[in-house]
Amino acid sequence: MKQILNFINGAYVAGQAGKTFKNINPVDGSLIGMVSEAGQPEIDAAVAAARAALEGPWGKMSIAQRVDLLYGVANGITRRFDDFLEAEIADTGKPHHLASHLDIPRGAANFKIFADVVKNVPNEFFEMTTPDNKTALNYALRRPKGVVAVICPWNLPLLLMTWKVGPALACGNAVVVKPSEETPSTAALLGEVMNEVGIPAGVYNVVHGFGPGSAGEFLTTHPGVNAITFTGETRTGSAILRAAADGIKATSMELGGKNPAIVFADADMDAVMVGLKRSVFENTGQVCLGTERVYVERKIFDKVVQRLKEVAETLKPGHPNDHDADFGPLISQEHREKVMSYYQQAKEQGATVVTGGGVPKMPKELEGGSWVEPTVWTGLPETSSIVQQEIFGPCCHVTPFDTEDEAVRMANATPYGLAASVYSSDINRAHRVAARLEVGLCWVNSWFLRDLRTPFGGSKMSGIGREGGVHSLEFYTELRNVCVKLLD
Ligand code: NAD
């Protein structure tokens, strides 16, 4: 039986209390292995190891040395591509082609991009005249924040974890990572790469467990943690913000979304369907940036609904290694229950179920997996739970609109503000609408095109702060101003 251990101070260790939990394969419900849960002693040890690393060789390294090591980590992930791929697929059940094109390559790229950012960032400098008419020079040093807690979700485990660990380490911090209890494997495996490439012990630590009363809470309330970077549900984010308040810890919050797509009648229909197929259904709808609300100009409403139905019905569920399979299961039976409860609510609230709404018929060996059908609804009021709440499944509700103002008003009318897509051939309208949408990211005629140098994050209840490129430096470093008076 596979054992997944905590990684503390460069070594794999079991929790002292001997508590373990199951790591389940969502494809068929089989047991992948047992995960060792970290308790307070392991969190204390991980934070102490991180602190010691900052005070030891890691803290004394030049930027050039750190950059070399981070390139080494990226290359190390690429060298062990198949190991990461296998672990990620087993934990998430996502199709092989998705994990091999997105999750693992981006996991490696996240180290290179932030190594480059840190290497190239200019510093602030101001020359001033002093009251006694002399000169003083001001310059700002970027110093690491210290020990950074990295708390991660399960939907893109390696990609989202390294999106935080990459910049944190590039800026000279040490990290304690708490991966999702659903997907502990790739974070644990990364410890081997860290050791192989010579990252000093204590710089990268991994503790496994849950949120309240477990590793997540112990970490976010730990007095030795200087900053918390979190990706996950809005409700969890607010619990973590409360925990962070006591210790005045810096926080970065990448939270949930209920993202709209707005389709104008002049849009290129192929671009619309390529975009919606991915944004609604990719990763079985478990993407924070995914579309769950589609607003379509009334004159093409029926046509878009029909095309969406056709797309949804051609998608084939299947085993990750089945190259014809378009989508995998949801992450767990628990998450399936949540998504199915929304499928049920939609019916009860009087939705027209255009397609889906149930569980697909699977071959016997996959019947134990957490499968759901791709689903499209119409006909619900904008106030319904289906239109207002994040479902995080392969589904969307489609609403017609008559004017640009009406589309913008409906798109903005949820508490969330993560991402949006606008489809139109009218360039002026596209720019106008993008500027009016209350979101952190807006795509035009596309979805999920990511240049890692650009700001990433949500507005309203979708998050606080921006990461990506130089924006990550704002979170992972402390600016220290040095003022030097030049004496005669
Ligand atoms: P989640 O909030 O349930 O869990 C995320 C992590 O927080 C897990 O590691 C969990 O163990 C931990 N946690 C839970 N309670 C905690 C507590 N009280 N203290 C400390 N840690 C705690 O989220 P999830 O279900 O794993 O992920 C799906 C959610 O993540 C969706 O809402 C999705 O929109 C969001 N998400 C957002 C982004 C983004 O960039 N904005 C990206 C991916 C996912």
pLDDT tens digit sequence for 327-343: 999 999 999 999 999 99
Per cent of the chain over pLDDT 90 is 99
Is it the case that residue 114 has pLDDT exceeding 90? yes
155 Cα to the center of ligand 1, angstroms: 9
Give the separation between CA 72 and CA 53, rounded to whole angstroms.
19
The answer, yes or no, to whether any atom of ligand 1 lies below 6 A from the CB of 92, is: no
The answer, yes or no, to whether any atom of ligand 1 lies below 6 A from the CB of 460, is: no
Task: Judge if 2-255+462-484 and 259-450 fold alike in CATH terms.
Answer: no
Q: Cα angle vertex 438, ends 437, 439, to 5°? A: 95
Query: What is the residue with the minimal CA distance to atom 20 of ligand 1?
Result: 216
The reply to whether 254 belongs to the active site is yes
The answer, yes or no, to whether any atom of ligand 1 lies below 6 A from the CB of 184, is: no
Q: Among 88, 181, 217, 254, which one carries the catalytic annotation?
A: 254
275 Cα to the center of ligand 1, angstroms: 25
Query: For position 64, what pLDDT does the model report?
Result: 96
The answer, yes or no, to whether any atom of ligand 1 lies below 6 A from the CB of 216, is: yes
pLDDT tens per residue across span 415-474: 999 999 999 999 999 999 999 999 999 999 999 999 999 999 999 999 999 999 999 999
Q: Which of 110, 218, 288, 330 to mutate to test the pocket of ligand 1 (most atoms within 8 A of CB)?
A: 288
The reply to whether 288 belongs to the active site is yes
462 Cα to the center of ligand 1, angstroms: 12
pLDDT tens per residue across span 245-297: 999 999 999 999 999 999 999 999 999 999 999 999 999 999 999 999 999 99
The answer, yes or no, to whether any atom of ligand 1 lies below 6 A from the CB of 232, is: yes
Atom of ligand 1 nearest to the CA of 178: 9
pLDDT tens per residue across span 46-60: 999 999 999 999 999
Architecture of domain 259-450: 3-Layer(aba) Sandwich (3.40)
The answer, yes or no, to whether any atom of ligand 1 lies below 6 A from the CB of 418, is: yes
Atom of ligand 1 nearest to the CA of 335: 25
Q: Where are the domains of the chain?
A: 2-255+462-484, 259-450
The answer, yes or no, to whether any atom of ligand 1 lies below 6 A from the CB of 362, is: no
Q: How confident is the model at residue 94 (pLDDT cuts 50, 70, 90)?
A: very high
The answer, yes or no, to whether any atom of ligand 1 lies below 6 A from the CB of 159, is: no
Averaged pLDDT for residues 124-145? 97
Architecture of domain 2-255+462-484: 3-Layer(aba) Sandwich (3.40)
Query: For position 1, what pLDDT does the model report?
Result: 84
Q: Taking the model in full, what pTM does it have?
A: 0.97
Query: For position 415, what pLDDT does the model report?
Result: 98
pLDDT tens per residue across span 54-93: 999 999 999 999 999 999 999 999 999 999 999 999 999 9
Q: What is the 3-state secondary structure (H, E, C) of the chain?
A: CEEECEEECCEEECCCCCCEEEEECCCCCCEEEEEECCCHHHHHHHHHHHHHHHHCHHHHCCHHHHHHHHHHHHHHHHHCHHHHHHHHHHHHCCCHHHHHHHHHHHHHHHHHHHHHHHHHCCCCEEEEECCCCCEEEEEEEEEECCEEEEECCCCCHHHHHHHHHHHHHHCCCEEEEECCCCCCHHHHHHHHHHHHHCCCCCCEEECCCCCCCCHHHHHHCCCCCCEEEEECCHHHHHHHHHHHHHHCCEEEEECCCCEEEEECCCCCHHHHHHHHHHHHHHHHHCCCCCEEEEEEEHHHHHHHHHHHHHHHHHCCECCCCCCCCCECCCCCHHHHHHHHHHHHHHHHCCCEEEECCCCCCCCHHHCCCCCCCCEEEECCCCCCHHHHCCCCCCEEEEEEECCHHHHHHHHHCCCEECEEEEECCCHHHHHHHHHHCCCCEEEECCCCCCCCCCCECCEECCEECCECHHHHHHHHEEEEEEEEEECC
